Chain A
């Protein structure tokens, strides 16, 4: 390992202490602002409520309101902090501002592993992303410092065989223009212990000592070479930094839903991440990807035990990244979020359905953190609050649901029951219910301010900084903000209902049946109706009840009820790629990367054999194609014990007689993992009669031609 570490610079040493003082001041200011605003708003709410919070229903409403308002207020002030800092030229306490660009550019690099854990991901897209990153690092002239690892946890033979073929094809493509063989490795775990964190841990146990740093990617990550180099140099210059997290921007959105997410991320994201980074400073969170990690302390302190509790709080930790950041903090390492590291990207889920499927997993993972937040030993307060932040991301939904429920009970009680002038026991004087519409309107105004001012600040930030053209001009940008605001208002109740369900499922450790995830690109009507039908009926019933109770309450319920009633059509509408394309053609919901072009994104569409290769039946290819068979057999198990061999011999004979289509998935897996079975099948299939299942398969494959050449040619022509 290169030991040319620069000495800790004097300015960096003093900055080490300074940031803690700044962090304390900023957090105190934030706390005062949020609590002050929440107290004022809750007081206003109590003034609005007819019994001023003296009944248990009203007390419940006030508590839930205060919790939800705190959450909203926090987001508002973070965005405001971000706006102010961006207008002042960035946060001078951030890592990036601690040294001159020239000093950073001359900092030597050290050995870094670029790791991409994958689990049943779209193979061609993932590996083409890695190729784009590789090429970008190659262009920066620093490739010799980096090794690349694809860390697969895939269980389905059709997928991991594809991964292995694509890995080899990618190596061939990368070496075609280079004198040296690319240092691109592939590792597949046979046992998927502890999900993604276990996969990373497996890598670290095997090769962690070879490297000083590890850049962690997601399957859809894209990062520019210069940005990666900058991150390594920052780590080199600041030895106390254990994790440096970049702020990935969304890219390559096609559907209406993804384009809205992408626009919001690109326009509002910088404000929120700047504000968040300014408050967290060296005690930031780790998001699990597009981040660089100092390996030695990570290996020393970040092994994740299974949770020892019960139900949800027992077993492997699902959302590992926040926990790892907290452990690094406990070990005295700093964790930084650096929003000014550009050229860091990921992709949005294409549909709301995909996002909710992901959220279901994340909700469970984040709620697990409750155990660590309460019982984790010696964790820093900032990291406990980061856990709370993640938990509230999902817990806010059932709280909102509860708030709606209690307000319905309150209205029903007022309308259906006689007025109770003595709501409290031992009350001497009667309490007259009061109604102050003007205060209610003020409260609504404050809430809307918290929701929409951050969006307007982001808009102002772009307009002031003269970047309007990057979003299609001032008019189109403003129109896009309107579209996004309308869309987020429509999506919020749908997310609330789904998240509420996920939280309840997670807390009671139950798994209700949920419609399957749609990865085909667009959501079908049937899937949307099956998925959202019950929620729509509930909302319809609620709205009808509200109308029967009180016309005014009915109007109040509409912003929540309408999106829920229309959830199925909204699911379908938002998943449409055509609508997303139409908006792009008219320069609406445009992102700077689309307007100016993005080299990394363009690199995904460079000619490559991978897309065509990955369309093939991977098992058939592994058996038929001589080069692929050699590769797959070379990567498979050595011959097994005699008893297993006998079973495999029967299985391979059956496979030869019946053909690939009649094979069960588990059997395919067994054959694909055995080198002898693959070689034997290859020999026999080429000798098979033309009218046998494999003979027909072989003839069809020969008629198709050779992918490795055709694929590249087809891509070149396109």
Chain B
């Protein structure tokens, strides 16, 4: 096992979770270590890809993007004469 690879995978998993709003505690760190180990132990796919799939799967479903605008209620402007 390459120590450098594992470090990068672990770093990215934790950053991804933190930036997605998941609190980082001992449990999440242990889970991240487990995902890293599994990703590095399989040899069918690149380890990073496997790890990030599992990282995203561990997150709760995405919250919907907030509504940027209220529903449209179309009107028109009348133009003044010159």
* B-binding residues in A (CB < 8 A): 147, 167-168, 171, 181, 183, 185-187, 201, 204-210, 299-305, 307-308, 327, 330, 371-372, 375-377, 625-627, 630-631, 634-635, 686-687, 690, 698-699, 701-702, 706
* A-binding residues in B (CB < 8 A): 8, 11-12, 15-16, 18-21, 46, 48-49, 52, 62, 64-70, 72-82
SS class, residues of chain B in contact with chain A: loop
- With a CB–CB cut-off of 8 A, which chain B residues contact A372? 82
| A204 and B65 contacting across the interface, CB-CB below 8 Å | no
- With a CB–CB cut-off of 8 A, which chain B residues contact A625? 19
| B52 and A376 contacting across the interface, CB-CB below 8 Å | no
> Shortest beta-carbon distance, A531 to chain B, in Å?
37
| B68 and A185 contacting across the interface, CB-CB below 8 Å | yes
SS class, residues of chain A in contact with chain B: helix
> Shortest beta-carbon distance, A383 to chain B, in Å?
12
Tell me the number of A-to-B contacts counted with CB atoms below 8 Å: 97
Q: How far is the CA of A186 from the CA of B78 in the complex (A)?
A: 25
> Shortest beta-carbon distance, B76 to chain A, in Å?
6
Apart from A206-B69, A299-B75, list 9 A-B contacts with CB within 8 A.
Answer: A171-B66, A204-B77, A206-B74, A300-B78, A330-B80, A375-B82, A630-B62, A706-B18, A706-B19
* Selected A-B contacts with CB under 8 Å, 26 pairs: A147-B70, A168-B66, A171-B66, A185-B70, A187-B69, A205-B77, A206-B72, A209-B74, A299-B78, A300-B78, A301-B80, A371-B82, A375-B82, A626-B19, A626-B20, A627-B19, A627-B20, A634-B64, A635-B65, A635-B68, A686-B12, A687-B52, A690-B8, A699-B8, A701-B15, A702-B12
Partner of A201, one of B11, B20, B21, B77: B77
> Shortest beta-carbon distance, A326 to chain B, in Å?
9
Q: How far is the CA of A375 from the CA of B82 in the complex (A)?
A: 7
| A376 and B82 contacting across the interface, CB-CB below 8 Å | yes
For B49, the closest partner residue in chain A by CB is A687
Q: How far is the CA of A627 from the CA of B16 in the complex (A)?
A: 9
Q: What 6 A-B pairs come out closest when comparing CB atoms?
A: A634-B65, A303-B77, A303-B79, A327-B80, A702-B15, A626-B20
For A296, the closest partner residue in chain B by CB is B75
- With a CB–CB cut-off of 8 A, which chain A residues contact B79? 303-305
Q: How far is the CA of A371 from the CA of B82 in the complex (A)?
A: 9
- With a CB–CB cut-off of 8 A, which chain A residues contact B48? 686-687
Partner of A204, one of B18, B66, B75, B81: B75
| B69 and A186 contacting across the interface, CB-CB below 8 Å | yes
| A205 and B74 contacting across the interface, CB-CB below 8 Å | yes
